[in-house]
Amino acid sequence: MTRTFENSGSEKEFLDIYQREEMDKYVKPSVTVDSVIFRYYEGRVQTLLIKRKNHPFMGKYAFSGGFVQEQEDLNLAVCREVQEETSITLNPDHIEQLITVGTPYRDPRMWTITVAYLCFMTFNDIQVEKAADDAASTHWLDIAMVDGQLQLVDGDKTLSHDDLAFDHWEILLTAMERIKGRLEYYPTILSIMPEENTLTTYRQLFGTFNEDYLKMDSTNFLRRFKHLFQKTGRQVATRTRKAATYTYHIKPL
């Protein structure tokens, strides 16, 4: 084997030579983080978007996110960016990496790679969002899969792909598919729900991501998900009758 600076001398000597002679040979991308935040509000699943204050995509809806600082932990970076842009403090126990995206030319400014996060606001985590930094405004949008298509609604406006900046529509679709794919064995989306509710409410939550569950009655729903839900022995009044309440338990992977 030919001896080179990579396999001779000490590691410190190697690093000194590498930093002096090799580092500039490779073009380096910028790294960003993006947050796909979900909450449960008045019987609906919602996601938090901002409107961008600046170019590129000024005025478009986007995730709260931004550039990772030098030697910054990614989990800390997404929490920092969300807090700076929306004033919301994420719970580190309720965030998880969703996808890393490095599609060429996804950012018109430069070569960027983004790490997108799934973030869940627990039901009793009541915070008031306030736009700051790169965000002109904040928006909680109703979100669901309807007839196999992503439906995103801000008040009386239904959004489409072109209303979102960058590739955030595609990332949002990935988030919905990730949640849908784990409903049967690791439904972390349940963490946005009250700790006690009716089977109908849980079924409607699951139906937000997979419409098949909306066609299922509560008896069959419970039979399918008996590993998730436990009866409390209590009841609540609904529009037509009293209904039993259930709590949930998400088993760790």
Answer yes or no: do 144 and 169 share one domain.
yes
What's the predicted TM-score (pTM) here? 0.93
Most confident of 22-36, 62-76, 122-136: 62-76
Helix axes 168-181, 199-209, angle to 10 degrees: 130
When the pLDDT of each residue in the chain is averaged and rounded to a whole number, the result is: 95
**Phi, psi dihedrals of residue 221, rounded to the nearest 5°:** -60, -45
Residue where one domain finishes, among candidates 139, 159, 179: 179
Say what percent of the chain tops pLDDT 90: 85
> Which residues have CB under 8 Å from 66's CB, separation 6+?
32, 33, 81, 84, 85, 133, 134
Is 167 found in the same domain as 97?
Answer: yes
Q: What is the pLDDT of residues 188-221, one digit of tens each?
A: 999 999 999 999 999 999 999 999 999 999 999 9
Instruction: State how beta strands 61-62 and 197-198 pair.
Output: unpaired
Contact 191, 122 (CB under 8 A): yes
What's the domain range around 44? 28-179
- Does residue 79 sit in the same domain as residue 148? yes
CATH number of the domain that residue 225 is part of: 1.10.10
Q: How many domains, in total, are found in the chain?
A: 2
Strand 64-67 relative to strand 135-146: parallel, antiparallel, unpaired? unpaired
Flag whether 12 is in a domain: no
Q: Is the Cβ–Cβ distance between 244 and 234 less than 8 Å?
A: yes
Q: What is the mean pLDDT of residues 99-124?
A: 97
